[in-house]
Amino acid sequence: MENLVNCIELDDGITYAIIDEIEVENEYYVYLVNIKNEEDFCIRKKTSIQNQEAFIQINESEFEKALLSLTKKHQNMLENE
């Protein structure tokens, strides 16, 4: 089933689809996937800079935390495998 999602172009010039957004300890992580290669993904943190929504880099520990949160949120998807 296909869903309509927003897309964003990152600094590498690639357009990514925003596939999810999860709040973890008052931080908002957004999950981005390359629209031309669904195996190519990354995670950014959403924040506000001068009243504008911004997507900033994260550190390694945040990456682990954000990936774990995505897995926990959607782990039921794998139960049918």
Partner 1 sequence: MKNDDKLIFTPLEREKTTITPFNRKNYPYTTFHSDEEVIHYTQEKINKAKQKSTSSSSTIISSHIKPSRKINVQAIIKRIIATALVASGITAGISGLIPFMKKTIIVNEEKNRVETKLENQGIDFEKKSDIDYKQLSIEEEDLLGAYLCDLDLDELVKTLGYKGSSDYLIKNGMVEVYESGVSHPSTEVWINYEEARLLKEKEREEQNGKSR
The residues that touch partner 1, with contacts defined as CB under 8 A, are 1-12, 15, 17, 19-20, 31, 33, 35, 37-44, 49, 52-60, 63, 67, 70-71, 74-75, 77-79, 81
Going by C-alpha positions, the residue among 66, 72, 74 that lies closest to residue 23 is 66
The residue among 26 and 51 lying less far from partner 1, judged by its C-beta, is 51
Q: How far is the CB of 26 from partner 1 (least distance, A)?
A: 19
- Compute how many other C-beta atoms are within 10 angstroms of the C-beta atom of residue 16: 24
Q: What is the largest CA-CA distance in the chain?
A: 45
Amino acid identity at 16: Y
Please identify, using beta-carbon distances, which residue of 23 and 40 lies nearer to partner 1.
40
